[in-house]
Structure 1
């Protein structure tokens, strides 16, 4: 049957992470724990920063935005994945798949920008402490946060438009556990070169540029800290920077691997495992690494629980 006579796809079948029933049950509980920790950790951060006036500072303003983005980002995929672990037919409608891609890219790309903004905030705090209050004003913080969400919306619009404009006819089986452009392109029944180039270009804007800014910021922070006389202060900053860079490496590294390499018609099991890091693991780690280890946040939590 010719391509012109084929019916456009109205739903997709997701193969998931495993076809083995026992493995699916184990994965269900693993993802459930990750998701519960993600929701509890990020929701706690949003609430604490909102109600405690001592946390009304630029750093925590950005952290609240990051926690909200993580909540939306994880909720876009993980609940559906949990249902599919227990379902016989792992089906998602074309509309549902489209919405998932839009929200996933919006919140994920916003997080990329926010992490870069947060690294700049820490750079100013450590390297230019006397000018911090004049540089990181309320207006500047709002503009940086709004710019992060706007950049996420722009990249989401471009990637989604280029991906969904392609015809999808015939096969509707996605070898993945959620909908995202690289997995969907493998089913397109037209040339995907222009779409791949558009996604690559957006990757440069929202992945390579922010991670470069983060690395430059932390390099300057570390260079400044080395000159400190306090050994305890150096150790504390190195510990904080190290943990931040580990999470940044996991998030950006896995996302760059997924979105900034030549598109292959076959998705390996390794590709799906790598996707787990930026969809389920880093949204759970972010509140722990960036917030819950912080003495100000611990103090806010203690004050709230003692009321």
Structure 2
């Protein structure tokens, strides 16, 4: 679990780094331009890391499923090699999908206007600027979204159905609470991510409202995720109780 959380954190750092430095520079400075190549590089890096995160969340759901339903076999299944392999596969899927999507988008004919109605060079926001027919590209975007986000989402749903069935068979209230606590943080994070991503990419036609949804999954969710995971972690709580900063804070309030 800790390994997947660390990979997820690194992926979110890459995801945010591809978007927000350019976004903040546009807000602070008068120059809001981005080059054609820079735009597609940003699109590729941001969306590839986003798809990698989507697949990581699915693999984390499988990890939690094994921990709850196959606790005695967990160590044999989820070896370090398997964990590393799953994290690499998640990135390979993201890179391949975005190579296809970025290539198709870059090959569209752009003749103006050239104002992107979004926080970054998002593929749906780019394709609506094209002068050529984008009906085929819309279909491809939906198909790639299903592969990159829809399939992992279905895996998460299937994993949690199995987990919930197992939890309902536990007679002890303490046992049920412990079993659910191992999954609740991941369930909250996955829910925040997939609800916002689905609203943007399963209907590729851009509109103003989607800018605010994009802000949700590109900034607010990644910022909230560390707090969601750490506040439910006993080791983090224990470390906070021992920290000098917390003692100073408590003394100050008393």
TM-score (structure 2 length as normaliser): 0.88
Question: Which residue number corresponds to residue 285 of structure 1?
Answer: 224
Give the Å deviation of 1:234. 1.8
Alignment correspondent of 2:43 = 101
Deviation at 1:242, TM superposition (A): 4.2
Gaps of at least 5 residues in structure 2 are 246-254
Q: In structure 2, what is the equivalent of residue 34 of structure 1? A: none
Mapped contact 1:158–1:198 kept (Cα < 8 A): no
Deviation string 1:205-239 (CA, Å, 9 cap, x unpaired) is 11111011101111211221222233123234435
Q: Figure out how many residues of one structure are paired with residues of the other and give that number.
A: 245
* In structure 1, distance between residues paired with 2:177 and 2:70: 20
Displacement after TM superposition at 1:122 (Å): 0.5
User: What is the aligned partner in structure 1 of residue 65 from structure 2?
Assistant: 123
2:196 to 231, 254, 268: 254
Residue 70 of structure 1 aligns to a residue in which SS? helix
- Contact 1:105–1:155 under 8 Å retained in 2: no
1:276 to 211, 215, 222: 215
Structure 1 CA distance for aligned equivalents of residues 233 and 213 of structure 2: 29
Cα contact 1:63–1:291 (8 A) shared by 2: no
Q: Is the 8 A contact 2:64 2:182 kept in 1?
A: no
What is the CA RMSD across the aligned residues, in angstroms?
2.2
Residue 28 of structure 2, aligned match among 86, 89, 95 = 86
- 1:244 corresponds in structure 2 to 186
2:21 is the counterpart of 1:61: no
**Secondary structure of the equivalent of 1:92?**
coil
Instruction: Report which structure shows greater RCO (CA 8 Å, sep ≥6).
Output: 1
Q: Separation in 1 of the partners of 2:139 and 2:214?
A: 21
Q: Are 1:215 and 2:154 an aligned pair?
A: no
In structure 2, relative to structure 1, the CA distance for the partners of 1:166 and 1:127 (3 Å cut) is same
Q: Is the 8 A contact 2:153 2:194 kept in 1?
A: yes
Q: Deviations over 1:89-125 (max 9, x none)?
A: 4211112211110100111000000000000000000
Partner of 2:251: none
Q: How far, CA to CA, are the matches of 1:160 and 1:305 in structure 2?
A: 49
The whole-number CA distance in structure 2 between the counterparts of 1:168 and 1:303 is: 58
- C-alpha contact (below 8 Å) 2:54/2:149 kept by paired residues: yes
Q: Quote the offset at 1:303 in angstroms.
A: 8.7
